[in-house]
Amino acid sequence: MAFKMRNDNSKIFTVSQINSLIKGVLENNLPGRLTIRGEITDFRPHQSGHRYFSLKDKVSKIPCVMWKSSLRRLKFEPENGQEVLGTGFIEVYVPHGKYQFIADRLVPAGLGDLQMAFEQMVERLGAQGLFDQDHKKALPTYPERIGILTSESGAAVGDIKNSIHNRWPCAKLFLYPVPVQGEGAAAKIGAAIDDVNRQNKKLKLDILIVGRGGGSREDLWTFNEEVLARAIFNSAIPVISAVGHEYDTTIADLVADARASTPTKAGVIAVPDMQEILENLAGIKSRMVGKIEAILELARQNLKTVLASAIFKRPMLCVRNREQQLDEFLSLLSGLIKQVQAGKYAQLHESYKLIVSIEPHRILGKKTVGLNNLQNRAKAAIKTVINRHQIRLTAQMNRLAGLDPKSVLLRGYSITTNKKTGKVVAKSEDIEIGDMMVTELAEKNLIESEVKIKQNKRLRR
C-alpha cells in the first residue's frame, strides 16, 4: 500500500537531523556552563572509569555523566542519596536522541567536598581497623635515633629539632626531605616511610616523625590520603604524626601510633626531658645512698654483737662441745649394736635347736622313697596304656588293609580302567573298540593295551 504525500512545502527530516537540530537549539539557547542542585540517584560506575547517574528533585530528574578525567579531581566518592551542586553543561546525545548533563565538578550541597571526603575516609578506614588501639605501637622510653619526614624548607623541621635537642640532646636526628602538599605528595611520603622501614636494619631508627606546619584544609589534605594512611599503619617503626595546629585533625593523626598537635609537641612526645631524668636520677641516688648507709650501719651493729659473743672469745669451746656430743653418740650406738647382736644370736640358736629336733634328713629320705615309688607306678601305668592302644591300632590297620581294593593285587589279581574315562572296566559296556585300557598289577606295575575285539557273552537262564 503506497502513501500519498501532501502537496505542500514541508520538508522531511531524518531522525539524526532532528536530533542534531535539537542539539543546536539547546546549545545556542542555554548558558555555556550552569550549576544544578539535586540528589544523586541511579549511580552506576562503569569499567571505563566514567560515572553515569541522575540528579533529581521532588518532581523531576535529569541524566548526568561525569568523565574519568573529571573524577580525578574529586576528593569524595559520589553515592546515591547525596545532595550535590553539579557544574557543567547540557549536551544532546544524538545516537539516542536524549539530552544529558555533563558534570565536570561536583560539590556536596551541605558539607564541603573536602569535609565529606574526610568523613568518608574516616568511616571506611575505621571499619577496616586502621584506627584501633590494638595496632598502635608503644614509643620507646629513651630513643637514640629519630627519623623526621617533612619539608627541608619548612618551619616544622626546625621546630622539631629544637624541641628534641632542648629536651634530649643525646638523640641523633635524620632528616628525610619529602613534599608535604600538592599532587602526589602523599604517595611520596608513603614511599619514603616504606623505604626507611626496608633499610631500618642498617638505619636502626627508634621513631619516625611525619608532619608539617599549619595551613589551609587544602594544604593539609596530603595527610588525609589513603596511601599515606596505609604506609603509616604498615610501618614497623613507631610513627608520630605532627600536622598543622592544635585544632587540625588528619587521617594521619588517627592512624599514627601517637599524635602531636604541632611539630614542636612532636619533640615533647618523642623524647623525655633530660632535666627531669637528671633530677629523678639525683633523687634515686640520694635514696640509694641513704639505704646503703642504713644497711652498713646495721651490719656494723651486727658485727659488734657477733664479736662480743662467747664464740669469738673462746672459739674452740663450740668444737669441744660437738666432740663431746659425738663421743656420747658413739657410746650409745655401740651399746645398741651389741644389744641387737645378742638378740639375733639368741634367735639363731633357738632356730638351730628347732631344726635339729625336726631331723630334716629323715623326712627328706622318706619323701625321696615315696617319690621314687610314684615315678615307678606312673611309668608302669603309662606303659600299660600304650600297649593297649598299640594293640587296638594294629587291629584297625589290619582291618583297613583287608578293605583295601588293591590288596588283592598281591594274590594275582589286577584292576583294569578305561584310560579315556578313568573308570574301572567292570563290564563290556564300559569300553569300546579302539579305546586304551590301563591294567594295574601288584607293586604299582602298569600295562597299557588297545581293545581290538569285544565279546559280550550273557549267561542264559
Q: What is the pLDDT of residues 123-160, one digit of tens each?
A: 888 889 999 999 999 999 999 999 999 999 988 999 99
pLDDT at 4: 44
Tell me whether residue 149 is in a domain: yes
User: For the domain that residue 223 is a member of, what is the CATH number?
Assistant: 3.40.50.2300
pLDDT at 269: 93
pLDDT at 22: 80
Give the residue-averaged pLDDT of 274-290: 92
Residues 150 and 58 in one domain: no
Nearest one of 174, 24, 185, 145 to 92, comparing CA atoms: 24
Nearest one of 269, 218, 223, 271 to 243, comparing CA atoms: 223
Q: What is the pLDDT of residues 74-125, one digit of tens each?
A: 777 788 887 888 888 888 888 887 888 888 888 776 555 667 677 778 888 8
Tell me whether residue 196 is in a domain: yes
pLDDT at 240 over 90: yes
Q: What is the pLDDT of residues 150-196, one digit of tens each?
A: 999 988 999 999 999 999 999 999 999 999 998 899 999 999 999 99
Residue 23 CB partners (closer than 8 Å, separation 6+)? 91, 92, 94
- Write the CA distances from 343 to 182, 237, 352, integer angstroms: 111, 85, 15
| Final residue before a domain boundary, out of 272, 302, 322 | 272
Residues 149 and 106 in one domain: no
pLDDT above 90 covers a percentage of the chain that reads 31
Residues 169 and 259 in one domain: yes
Residue 125 CB partners (closer than 8 Å, separation 6+)? 131, 226, 229, 251, 254, 255
pLDDT above 70 covers a percentage of the chain that reads 92
pLDDT at 404: 67
Residues 146 and 260 in one domain: yes
Nearest one of 201, 271, 197 to 233, comparing CA atoms: 197
- Window from 193-207, 270-284, 305-319 with minimum mean pLDDT: 305-319
* The amino acid at 53: F
User: For the domain that residue 70 is a member of, what is the CATH number?
Assistant: 2.40.50.140
**Which residue range(s) make up the domain with 162?**
141-272
| Grid cell at residue 410 | 598281591
Tell me whether residue 232 is in a domain: yes
Tell me whether residue 179 is in a domain: yes
Assign 170 to helix, strand or coil.
coil
What is the domain count for the chain?
A: 3
Residues 157 and 255 in one domain: yes
pLDDT at 24: 78
Helices (H) and strands (E) in the chain, counts: 14, 13
pTM listed for this prediction:
0.48
Q: Which residues pair with 148 in a beta bridge?
A: 175, 209
Give the residue-averaged pLDDT of 339-346: 88
Tell me whether residue 334 is in a domain: no
- Write the CA distances from 55 to 41, 87, 92, 96, 381, integer angstroms: 6, 12, 16, 19, 124
Tell me whether residue 311 is in a domain: no
Q: What pLDDT band is residue 314 in, cutting at 50, 70 and 90?
A: confident
Residues 167 and 245 in one domain: yes
Distance (Å, whole) CA 122 – CA 117: 9
Residues 28 and 77 in one domain: yes
How many CB atoms are located within 10 Å of the residue 256 CB? 28
